[in-house]
Structure 1
Amino acid sequence: MNVIDRGKALSIPPIWRLAFRPFFLCASLYALVAIPLWVLAWSGQLGDWQPSGGWLAWHRHEMLFGFATAIVAGFLLTAVQTWTGRPGLSGRPLMVLAGVWLAARLGWLFGLPLAALIPLDLGFLLALAGVMARLLWAARQQRNYPIVLVLSLLAGADALLLSGLALGDDDLQRRGVLAGLWLIAALMGLIGGRVIPFFTQRGLGRLNAVKPWAWLDIALLAGTALIAALYAAGVGLQAQPLLAPLFLAVATGHLLRLARWYDRGIWGVPLLWSLHLAMLWLVVATLGLALWHAGLLASFSPALHGLTIGAMSGLILAMIARVTLGHTGRPLQLPAGMAWALMLLNLGGVARVFVYPLWPLEGLWLAVTGWSLALAIYAWRYVPMLVKPRVDGHPG
């Protein structure tokens, strides 16, 4: 589709031509630094330095509303150009949006007064939702309207957390971050349900795509949104047996979809097994929470980190590895070392979820090592792609 003025597009510095470039770049570098920084703070090696709300508040907010939402922004603002046939965000507007995101990250880390920090932090998500709504409405893309709704609810979850920060109320902060995590899980289920079967079919050269079961996709979206709403309302912060069937139903639905998508050929293609494995982590995390609510597990922390590291971050790394290749005009072949990065991130998830409860210190350092090496390999191989023009000479 010829959706942009070629000459005008090529006059823009490459980093600002499409949203995936600055957001994948900044978010991956930020995540590479943020987790080691959190571990140093947790082990008491950063002295009196405290970000806004303290290190725990910073960690749980920034890995969701800093890292993950930047990736969401880069993916959606790039994909919407294909969905609608209209130009995506680029040039100066993209610079402004990325600047707001960066200012909020620095503000959190260096203790910007809340009167300035809160508008910056909320402004990013509200602007993202507004831009997506404008582009989708202009093209009457009704199929994708739920994405705008989820983004708006995500801004609401952030507002809940920020109100807790302003009031010094840890309960509100936990409600906001847990609601936000499950809204991200809703996006994962929505977008993953569309692209993973297609990528699998295309990557393996299969002729017949697995047709979605619309009823199952809708049920999973509704169930995940219900979990987010319950957390926002303060329900589920403590183990409640009545919630176990809801989590079990969502886990079963995701497992059923994975079984329908499965093809043993994926194990020879890292760009495919990494996507399927991320969605399997979502099953593991949701099942773990079902067992915790049923009183069969002592802690919800392993399941929560299965969601954040294995599912959310695993899907992020797999998707940005693929999207960056495709949108820079390269064949869908991972650069050297990137398959190891995908494995290392998943091994880090295993360490945090299964090793840490038994051997906390060893499990934590294994997890942070796997995470850091994975993000470092992505940065090493992909930063040059993100800052240089497409190899085929096209805009984007």
Structure 2
Amino acid sequence: MDILRNSSTYLPSVGQLAAAPHRLLFLVGALNVLAAMAWWAVWLVDARWNVFGFAPPPVHPGWAHAFVMQYQVLPPFIFGFLLTVFPRWMSLTELTRWHYLPVGAGLLSGQLAFLTGLAGFPVLIHTGVIATLAGWLAALAILMHLLWQDRGRTWHAVSCVLALTLGLAGLGLFVFYLHSGDARLLFASIKIGSFGLLLPIYVTVAHRMFPFFAGNLCVGYVVWRPLWFLGAFWALALAHLALELRHAYAWLWLADVPLLALCSLWLWRTWPRGNIPPLLRVLFLGYAWLPLALALYALQSIRYLLDGHFILGRGPAHALFIGFFGSLLVAMVTRVTQGHSGRPLELGRVAAFAFVLIQVVAAVRVAAEVLPDAPLWQALAAAGWVIAFLPWVLRSAWIYLTPRSDGRAG
């Protein structure tokens, strides 16, 4: 009887999702990423081979894809992490389930309604965006309240809240686009999501956490995370954003070249030397996509300055989105999931498979811009993303639905 009683405590239960912010919101993110990329892969297959004969959705599919990935897929992971670590960074009381359950409900229902609306139900698109906006507002209000209580001025928290505030503005622009049809608002929303929201948060979290992780695992590691780096990064990222909003593509290199140098310096100074565990190595390998993406942005800008041609198309953006954001999504979420579930800090075969395949997907998607029959390669890259993430999502979902392996709460 004791064996049966003990084993039953490790059965999956929806109630476990309320035990910690990251459980619920990481699961929401995991479900969102599969749903969003499955829809995109099917759409690309139909666009290339006319398999299903889909009617055009109420929002242009490429624009819808960009919106969903930036404002509905990645934010649940971001909010799940920040709602977990903000109280720890600031030595404040941990949040209760009533703080983060509404956030998860808004973000999950928002994307499901939005994707359903793309099948020809405009009212669901509006409903989904409003639900997403409600989840965003709830999460951002909580984080701002914690920041207000912070006595020590945690600059990494300030940086994250600034990025999320810009993201809220971008989300608002998309709402206005839906009501006005003004494509300029949609364009601004997408650009803000890239260099105003996601990139600053990723860089800020990496700046704080990666040296911390390395210092715990590598003997003799010297932590290097000067605050001037964040200030310089923000100035250059906002400069890039301002130039893109003005369509000044010939001058993006003025921001991207120094940003490339800055991020390359950080990677070189913080990269752990010697034999490092795979779970730590993938964090820095994923970060290495950022200098590569910035180099592609700069190369394309300089070429555009010389002859007015976009030689790489959306290649630089997908090096950033799939290579940098996608790789670090697998690496960072796996690290947090392992540590906060009482499991060993190991990469594991499932996460390793996802990480390696995402490298291939990123390379294929970037190359698709210059290869013959680009729609073929784009569809293959989207399908590869789904294949990479499916086992990882299933394993992660099991962890979020079961108690910690060490018996502790959370």
Q: Distance in 2 between matches of 1:56 and 1:16?
A: 35
Task: Quote the sequence identity (%).
Answer: 27
**Among residues 131, 134, 139, which one is paired with 2:150 in the alignment?**
139
Counting matched residue pairs gives: 380
**Any unmatched runs of 5+ in structure 1?**
1-10
Normalised by the size of structure 2, how large is the TM-score?
A: 0.85
Of stretches 211-220 and 99-108 in structure 1, the one that deviates more from structure 2 is: 211-220
Q: CA RMSD in A?
A: 2.3
Q: Distance in 2 between matches of 1:39 and 1:178?
A: 23
**Any unmatched runs of 5+ in structure 2?**
1-12, 305-309
Counterpart of 2:395 in structure 1 is 381
Counterpart of 1:122 in structure 2 is 133
Change beyond 3 A, Cα 1:133–1:229: farther
Query: 1:177, CA displacement in angstroms?
Result: 1.0
CA contact (8 A) 1:52 1:109 kept: no
CA contact (8 A) 2:174 2:189 kept: yes
Supply the AA of the counterpart residue of 1:376.
L
Q: Does 1:239 align with 2:249?
A: yes
Q: Does 1:291 align with 2:293?
A: no
Query: 1:363, CA displacement in angstroms?
Result: 2.7
Q: Distance in 1 between matches of 2:190 and 2:198?
A: 10
Change beyond 3 A, Cα 1:215–1:94: closer
After superposition, where does 1:1-396 map in structure 2 within 5 Å? 13-42=15-44, 43-44=46-47, 45-48=51-54, 51-111=57-117, 113=123, 116-143=127-154, 144-182=157-195, 183-203=197-217, 205-231=218-244, 234-236=245-247, 239-240=249-250, 242-265=251-274, 269-295=277-303, 297-359=310-372, 360-396=374-410
CA contact (8 A) 2:260 2:295 kept: yes
CA contact (8 A) 2:240 2:252 kept: no
3-state secondary structure, aligned to 2:349: coil
Counterpart of 1:3 in structure 2 is none
Supply the AA of the counterpart residue of 2:327.
G
3-state secondary structure, aligned to 1:295: helix
Q: Distance in 2 between matches of 1:301 and 1:211?
A: 33
Q: Distance in 1 between matches of 2:371 and 2:352?
A: 28
Of stretches 301-310 and 115-124 in structure 1, the one that deviates more from structure 2 is: 115-124
Normalised by the size of structure 1, how large is the TM-score?
A: 0.88
CA contact (8 A) 2:28 2:107 kept: no
Q: Distance in 1 between matches of 2:116 and 2:216?
A: 46
CA contact (8 A) 1:80 1:132 kept: yes
Supply the AA of the counterpart residue of 1:392.
D
Change beyond 3 A, Cα 1:59–1:186: same
Q: Distance in 1 between matches of 2:369 and 2:30?
A: 24
1:136-179 deviation per Cα after TM superposition (whole angstroms, max 9, x unaligned): 22233521223222211110011122222322222321221111
CA contact (8 A) 1:239 1:295 kept: no
Q: Distance in 1 between matches of 2:94 and 2:71?
A: 22
CA contact (8 A) 1:198 1:209 kept: no
